[in-house]
Structure 1
Amino acid sequence: MKTNKIEELLDAMTLDEQASLLAGADFWTTVTIPRLGVPAFKVTDGPNGARGGIFKDGPKTACFPVGIGLAATWNPTLIEETGAALGVEAKLKGARVLLAPTVNLQRTVFNGRNFECHSEDPWLASEMAVAYVKGVQSQGVAATIKHFVGNESEYQRMSMSSEIPERALRELYLVPFERAVKEAGVMAVMTGYNRVDGTFMADHRRLVTEVLRDEWGFDGLVMTDWMASHDTVYSVLAGCDLEMPGPTRERGAKVVAAVQDGRLLASSVRACARRVLQLADRLGCFADPVIPAERADDLPAHRALIRRLGAEGAVLLKNEAGALPGAAGALLPLSPKAGQTVALIGRAATVPQIMGGGSANVNAFYRVAPADALRAACPGVNFSHHIGADIHRYTPVLAQPMTLDLYASADLSGPVVATQTVPNSEAQWIGTLPPGIAPDQHYSARTTLRYVADAHGEHAFSLIVAGVARATLNGEPVLDAWTGWQRGETYFTFGCDEVIHRRTMHAGEVAELVVEFSSVMPLAPGDEGPHGFAALRIGAARVLGEADIAAAVEAARNADVAIVFAGLNAEWDNEGLDRTGITLPHGQNELIARVAAANPRTVVVLQTGSPVTLPWLADVGAVLQAWYPGQECGNAIADVLLGAAEPGGRLPQTWPLRLDNSVAIGNPEVYPGVDGHVRYDEGVFIGYRHYEQRGLATQFAFGHGLSYTTFVFEGLTLDRSTLQPGDTLTATLTVRNTGPRAGSEVVQLYVHDEASSLARPPQELKAFAKVTLQPGEARRVSLSLGMRAFAAYDEARAAWIAEAGRFELRAGASSADLRQRAGVTLAADWVERVAG
């Protein structure tokens, strides 16, 4: 549609109609104006799959690896292919806007959404962002880069103000957004829940209009995060176009009143409405206004891509012979023979951990367990399984269908208006309503569950609820999340903290659990609740103990190989709450140490979305970090363990040796924040920059990852010894596979400024390339660096400055494994002033 046609549409609209475009119609779609033929478009979460309009148990979809797992591939070409596949998945759900990627940096080890983000490093994060956005938008689907900006933790996320020095903002946190705008032409940006320097991001005119739009030239749509709109006038003036979800809270009639009262110019409303119309036009909505029904097409090509991604993002952290005296070689890849025994230990061996929690969650087509994949790949091998220790944060839900009787009242009065059956003992009504319930109507439910104890011991029963709930066990009131309900950290902070009851039960003993629920959310004065949001989670499980660890250790002792599947799950790596530490929960460290002592051939497969400490590291032969690799979880892990695929991943985030060595430790004002403010006092020194500046040893360096073969780097050369301001430098070196297998290596190029008037990190990643080589094969790799690769942001001059002098370029396989160096001299200062 030509620009003048959009202007004609705007001319034909009333102020009320223009204002109506500035908020969603419902949880996932925008507003239509039928009389003028203005169509709606549908949006969908999220970074690792297109979920569609039903938050839980909706139409199935493909589940891809999480963001940190994608970044661990260090392969932009593959990530662009992944983005294209996700664009296809979005269209299958009737959506033309994908709410992804998440590109906030991993400032600390605590962020609950660490798994969803790409990296601690702005260059790696931005390379992934550019590739992802290009891929998504190649399918005619808008990518929505988020969360703009300074949303690096989940603690008090709806109100926390990030106090970020301008230099750190420019050099670190804005970089992925800037490159996505300038290099990928991203069509949409989502503002964060947080404030920056005291102003909510949806209202932040300096960052949204002056930086994003005016300075970078962004001409797309800016939307709020869900329920993150706070001020009618300020958000419109800031250039935030679309409030989500609908129906509106701060737009609509409030916008019209603000114009009529003289607090807003009609031209400001028109500008926001224009950008909504422009996005609809770019997405082809005017030409094809129909939002199709959601489809669940299980595409073979996407299955294969997800499996490849899981292996290419898996990071081999350690690979030695194990603790066998005199043993040679490396423990991985495994090649178990028929008749041998492999002990599989850990809940994640049989319950695949495929994704993190929160808005990134999808209803996957399937979940391949590592135990099943290994058995299928190794006929004749004897596999045993013992849980040993648990990984959960909350009492596990019952893996049995739950039927709820629903009432069109808040107190279970009146007749049952409908029943609803869900696959397990968790029900979510987020953006949807139960059957038989009208919009804006409170409702309640009752369900009865039968629990049979699997063994003698302590058993736990629990409730988590967004709304209120209570439960009886065999007629005895045992759980109360009704009276005295308080908002906690669950369900995006709209649910209460877990309420638990424990009791000893004998094997085979039956418990009848009757649970009553109401959607009424008793919020504190001024604490406005969310639209269309309620949830009920019922947990029931035996509490694991010493006998479970002992059984796993005995199985390991009698096995030829022991594989421990350890880590976290989507309850720890979850939107809405940060982690409290980096220690594996539930005695997993003790379990691994004792298994390793019983069997020197012990492999540990870790699944986490963020770093953890590994006190047993010296005692195990091999450690593989598999992240949350999507629906092909077990197949991808088995491929790497058995050598059918190369462990292609490299760490996108440094793993500290100890928690107290990590960034933002020791001062609550720096993390998690005090009185609604968190100070980024470390400035540009996050991630490997922090550890190197302070001379701190790490458990695993940024960029670390082993291969099943070996590589050498040779002959780093530069195409010039002296740079003039504005030049591009090309660095070239040879990479050679000196081992027995084909494999991949990531060439990482770091820049060190030998003398600077600004305090600079010892080195910064500025380019990288992934190469795959056959045994004995060598290849020349060239990497180009523009002026920004040598520059720092000078707040006093409001400019990027590369100061004249000498720079050292360092090529290596990680930030700590530097193998080639070369120097270049910048002849004179290069200055790029910031507009505005």
Structure 2
Amino acid sequence: MTEPVNIEALLDAMTLDEQVSLLAGADFWTTVPIPRLGVPSVKVSDGPNGARGGIFKDGPSTACFPVGIALAATWNPALIAETGAALGVEARLKGARVLLAPTVNLQRTVYNGRNFECHSEDPWLSSEMAVAYVNGLQSTGVAATIKHFVGNESEYQRMTVSSDIPERPLRELYLLPFERAVKVAKVQCVMTGYNRVDGTFMADHHRLVTQVLRDEWGFDGLVMTDWMAHHDTVRSVLAGCDLEMPGPTRERGNKLVAAVQDGRLPADAVRACARRVLQLAERVGSFADPVIPAERDDDLPAHRALIRRLGAEGAVLLKNDADALPLALKAGQTVALIGHAAVTPQIMGGGSANVNAHHRSAPMAALQAACPGVDFVHRPGADSHRWTPLMPVPMTVDFWANDRFDGPVVATQTSPNTEIMWFGSLPAGLDPYDFSARTTLRFVAEAEGLHAFSLVSTGLARATLNGEPVLDAWTGWRRGDTYFTFGCDEVLHHRTLQAGDVVELQVEFSTAVEGGGFGVHALRVGASRLMGEADIAAAVDAAAKADVAIVFAGLNAEWDNEGLDRPGIALPHAQDELIARVAAANPNTVVVLQSGSPLLLPWLDAVPAVLQAWYPGQECGLAIADVLTGAAAPGGRLPQTWPLRIEDSVAFGDPAQYPGVDGHVRYGEDVFIGYRHHEARGHAVRFPFGHGLSYTRFEQTGLALDRTTLQPGDTLTATVTVRNAGPRAGSEVVQLYVHDTASTLARPPQELKAFAKVALQPGESRTVSLSLDMRAFAAYDVDRAAWWAEAGTFEIRVGSSSAAIHQRETVTLAADWVEPVAR
């Protein structure tokens, strides 16, 4: 047995400089070691849908799991715990002992660019997913890092915006997933958000980090900043933020030593933070095994199978008139596959959750393998991109060791496509704040038409086309919404080309930009023909000649992306027109949607079946084919309400509530987000929270409560019987909502407080038990600074979505229950 580490003795043996050195990263992904005392370095890795490792783009491949909203759509905590354990194995393969996951911010609005990465609009569903994920991950000895604490519900002005959240919704909604991860799952790390809350940056927020997280909830783990989210040398340490990331330090180091020596910061505060860094290293086993191994790209069959299962179990069957699905295809039939995503699998969102997947299963290839003898034809139909598509050719870049292209070329690097991201992957010997680079690319037009050429960069960039300077991201360069807001907005040039025309692009990049982007640099070169009427017509013609048409529509990692929000919830480009015209040409049209948040569906009445597949990870095509063909049942339920109109959504029309005014975004809707908002206002919605159809039919009967009167402190148990009354195996999600029939505080019409997923064979029945403690009946009373369940009658509602309540029973709370928050 390994001897426990005497952390206090280590701290006693350290100089102030050594203690301070522990409080910032050594580099992008590791902590600082102290070799003379045997203090190891700990490596962290981005999640939450895969362990990427130390190279941001094109490093060793890894398993890509479904995104956060797709995991939550399973409504299956046991399966999510299994997923967490698999991700722990993946983290170890990358030499990491800390995974930066899960993301549990709520889907407050429909605009947030990271809604795909979050679990749900509902705090209970989000917290159940978080607890399962953390438990599974930490069972492998890898620490989870729940993020982003707290109020990080949009990407607009994300590095500075203040989320001004009243105390009641802060407690009831936004803090709940963090609270339960701490209290129930014993999460080991917490990451603070970029944002401010009520004017104070989260890394400096003493009330929330020390008073709430540590003192009230009892969190004894490590708090780290998000990357480049550290602002105040002294305030962050006093707030209890232990680790500034990434390294090398910008705000700690010598500044922190000076603050202690000048008497602005007590040495004990530094020691407390250093203690927690050492404690993390011990908990994850780094003292016992200090070696950080080389990254491995093992492609594990068990993880492939799990990802494929997750994809099907999270897929939500939104509509299925006349049992259009599953498909009953026969040899000799023709199926028209329409849309880019049929052949270019959309497996994940963009930003820090992005990984270099082992492979990407495409729906067309998977359907061809599953349906021998069926003729599948493909037509792209319409564009779906946000930025001009990359050129699918290698890009070789030459480097100079200055920002002026002076002297000899000192290094060369090749990217598999025309995007290169220097996030810890710059060639050795180059200064990330002082280099220049040049590449030459050759583009050949495949068809006649208007073409787009583009540049995006985190530094100065410019390009010539056949010697003509046409792309200028150099003169007057300024930061925009790309590359985590360190990149400029896309610069475009259009020209008409004939088939076979050749264009030579010479592209130059320089770091000579004010601020230096924290040494985080990237270059993106786009070139593509713009699609138009002829492409839609070709798709419609193929659909008209086919027995079945399947349209793959939606978004991609450019729209669902860290660093920038969505402009709305309509499908981009001409996708809505494409679907409507294909459906008019072929009544047997199925639509497969992929997005990380709701969409408007103006053509919904014209198609018999719609499947929401999210971004389901590397087995994307196989999982979608399994559901379409009936090899697997669609097991998903919506974790987020889909509104009928964007005008009905939370914060619409009030800039102060979204996106914010003068650096502040006001959470003026109080506790009314998601289905709470729509139900309180009587909105009709497109698809309600918890909605999802099946290939079979279920009955929920026999709701019974174990008591009719509750005394303060009691637990209520509800039982319900679920029966599969249809012809196929499938799963049902029993959802329990609580309605307070009369309340002093304004409360939502109902709130999800328990759920259970049940898999049943045809004719099989099972009784499900759901337990509710006092918090299930309580609201947060600001005046009392306490959780308060008010005496009176509560209705227990059980159903298959927030809008499909099948049974109701009432229970009476005999007297008030009050639980003050710890101070």
Same structural fold, with TM-score higher than 0.5 when normalized by the shorter chain? yes
| Partner Cα separation in structure 2 for residue 388 and residue 79 of structure 1 | 36
Q: 1:752 aligns with which of 734, 739, 755?
A: 739
The answer for the alignment partner of 1:825 in structure 2 is 812
Question: Residue 110 of structure 2: SS of its match in structure 1?
Answer: coil
- Tell me by how many angstroms 1:37 deviates: 0.7
Aligned to 1:489: 481
Matched ranges for 1:48-59 at <5 A: 48-59=49-60
What amino acid maps onto 2:255 in structure 1?
K
Match of 1:426 among 410, 416, 419: 419
Partner of 2:376: 383
- The alpha carbon displacement at 1:437 in A equals 3.4
Q: Per-residue CA shift, 1:69-122, capped at 9, x if unaligned?
A: 000000000000000000000000000000000000000000000000000000
Do residues 473 (structure 1) and 474 (structure 2) align?
A: no
Task: Say whether 1:348 aligns with 2:349.
Answer: no
Q: In structure 2, how many angstroms separate the alpha carbons of the residues matched to 1:420 and 1:817?
A: 57
**What do the CA deviations read for 1:493-544 (whole angstroms, capped 9, x no partner)?**
0000000000000011111111111123x23xxxx44433100000000000
SS for the counterpart of 2:6 is: helix
Task: Report the 3-state secondary structure (helix = DSSP H, G, I; strand = E; otherwise coil) of the residue aligned with 2:194.
Answer: coil
TM-score with structure 1 setting the length = 0.98
| Aligned partner of residue 755 in structure 1, secondary structure | coil
Match of 1:458 in 2: 450
- Say which SS state the counterpart of residue 443 (structure 2) adopts: strand
Match of 1:761 in 2: 748
Residues 401, 431 of structure 2: 8 Å contact kept: no
Paired AA for residue 218 in structure 2:
G
Which shows bigger deviation, 26-35 or 511-520? 511-520
Q: Match for residue 629 of structure 1? A: 616
Cα distance in 1, alignment partners of residues 813 and 183 from structure 2: 26
Task: Give the aligned partner of residue 123 of structure 1.
Answer: 124
Distance 1:54 1:4, change over 3 A: closer
Q: Distance in 2 between matches of 1:530 and 1:765?
A: 43
For residue 512 of structure 1, the aligned residue among 479, 504, 511 is: 504
The corresponding residue for 2:410 is 417
Whichever residue aligns with residue 628 of structure 1, its letter is Y
Counterpart for residue 618 of structure 1:
605
Counterpart Cα distance in 2 of 1:357 and 1:692:
32
Tell whether the 8 Å contact from 1:408 to 1:436 is kept in structure 2 after alignment: no
**Paired residues, what number?**
822
Report the CA distance shift for 1:4/1:744 in structure 2 as closer, same or farther (over 3 A). closer
Q: Distance in 2 between matches of 1:736 and 1:549?
A: 45
Q: Which amino acid is 2:378 matched to?
A: H
* Aligned 8 A contact 2:721 2:767 in 1: yes
Structure 1 stretches lacking a partner, 5+ long: 322-329
In the alignment, is the contact (CA less than 8 A) between 2:737 and 2:797 conserved in 1?
yes
Counterpart AA for 1:621 = P
Verify: 1:540 aligned to 2:527, yes or no: yes
1:308 partner letter: R
What's the offset of the Cα at 1:414? 1.1
Residue type of the alignment partner of 2:661 = V
1-side partners of 2:250 and 2:581: how far apart? 56
Distance 1:440 1:534 in 2: 8
Q: Give the structure 2 partner of residue 580 of structure 1.
A: 567
Percent identity over the alignment? 78
Task: Tell me if structure 2 keeps the 8 A contact 1:163–1:680.
Answer: yes
d(CA) in 2 for partners of 1:560 and 1:537? 41
**Whole-angstrom distance in 1 between the partners of 2:810 and 2:475:** 69
Q: Is the 8 A contact 1:734 1:780 kept in 2?
A: yes
- 1:402 is matched with 395
8 Å CA contact 1:227, 1:530 repeated in 2: no
In 2: Cα distance, 1:830 partner to 1:466 partner: 55
* Alignment match of 2:727 (pick from 721, 731, 740): 740
Unaligned 5+ runs, structure 2: none
The aligned counterpart of 1:445 is 437
Partners in 2 of 1:5 and 1:782 — Cα distance? Answer: 46
> Is 1:670 the equivalent of 2:688?
no
1:436 deviates by: 4.7
Instruction: Give 1:52-91 correspondences, 5 Å limit.
Output: 52-91=53-92
The SS at the match of 2:130 is helix
In structure 1, the partner of 2:588 is 601
1:772 pairs with 2:756: no
1:716 to partner: Cα distance? 0.3
Give the secondary-structure state (helix, strand or coil) at the position aligned to 1:184: coil
Aligned ranges 1:199-598 → 2 under 5 Å: 199-321=200-322, 330-433=323-426, 435-440=427-432, 442-520=434-512, 522-523=513-514, 528-598=515-585
Give matches, 1:782-801, under 5 Å: 782-801=769-788
Distance 1:421 1:430 in 2: 15
In the alignment, the residues of structure 2 paired with residue 696 and residue 391 of structure 1 have an alpha-carbon distance, to the nearest angstrom, of 30
Cα separation, partners in 2 of 1:514 and 1:530, compared to 1, 3 Å: closer
Distance 1:90 1:775 in 2: 39
Amino acid at match of 2:804: D
TM-score by length of 2: 0.99
Amino acid at match of 1:179: R
What does the per-residue CA deviation read over 1:230-278, in whole Å, with 9 as the maximum and x for residues that have no partner? 0000000000000000000111111110011110000000000000000
For 1:747, give the aligned amino acid: V
Distance 1:250 1:426 in 2: 31
Matched, 1:815 2:816: no
Native 8 Å contact 1:494 1:529 kept in 2: no
Query: What CA distance in whole angstroms lies between the structure 1 residues aligned with 2:431 and 2:774?
Result: 56
Separation of aligned partners in 2, 1:412 and 1:319: 60
Q: Is the 8 A contact 1:162 1:677 kept in 2?
A: yes
The one-letter amino acid paired with 2:394 is P
| 1:652 corresponding residue in structure 2 | 639
Partners of 2:331 and 2:372 within 8 A in 1? yes
Q: Distance in 1 between matches of 2:516 and 2:592?
A: 40
* AA partner of residue 368 (structure 1): S
How many angstroms apart in 1 are the aligned matches of 2:113 and 2:274?
Answer: 34
Counterpart-to-counterpart distance in 2, 1:432 and 1:160 = 30
Contact kept? 1:471, 1:513, Cα under 8 Å: yes
Match of 2:694 in 1: 707
Amino acid at match of 1:682: E
Q: 1:7 Cα shift?
A: 0.4
Q: Deviations over 1:646-694 (max 9, x none)?
A: 0000000000000000001111000000000000000100000000000
CA contact (8 A) 2:433 2:519 kept: no
Amino acid at match of 2:447: A
Which residue does 2:32 correspond to in 1? 31
**C-alpha distance in structure 2 between counterparts of 1:667 and 1:547, whole Å:** 40
Alignment partners' CA distance in 2, 1:222 and 1:419: 39
AA aligned opposite 2:821 = V
Cα deviation for residue 432 of structure 1 reads 2.6
Q: CA deviation at 1:2?
A: 7.6
The superposition leaves residues 347-406 of structure 1 with CA deviations (integer Å, 9 ceiling, x where unpaired) of 000000000000000000000110010011111101100000111000000011111111
Q: Report the alpha carbon displacement of residue 4 of structure 1 after superposing the two structures with TM.
A: 7.8
Looking at structure 2, the residues matched to 467 and 627 of structure 1 have their Cα atoms a distance apart, in angstroms, of 33
2:116 counterpart SS class? helix
Aligned position for 1:324? none
Residue identity in the other structure for 2:435 = Y
Q: Does the 8 A contact of 2:432 with 2:520 survive in 1?
A: no
Q: 3-state DSSP class of the match of 1:311? A: helix
1:373 partner letter? A
User: 3-state SS of the aligned residue for 1:531?
Assistant: helix
Question: C-alpha separation between the residues in 2 aligned to 1:414 and 1:354?
Answer: 43
Q: Which residue identity is paired with 1:297?
A: D
CA distance in 2, matches of 1:10, 1:768: 47
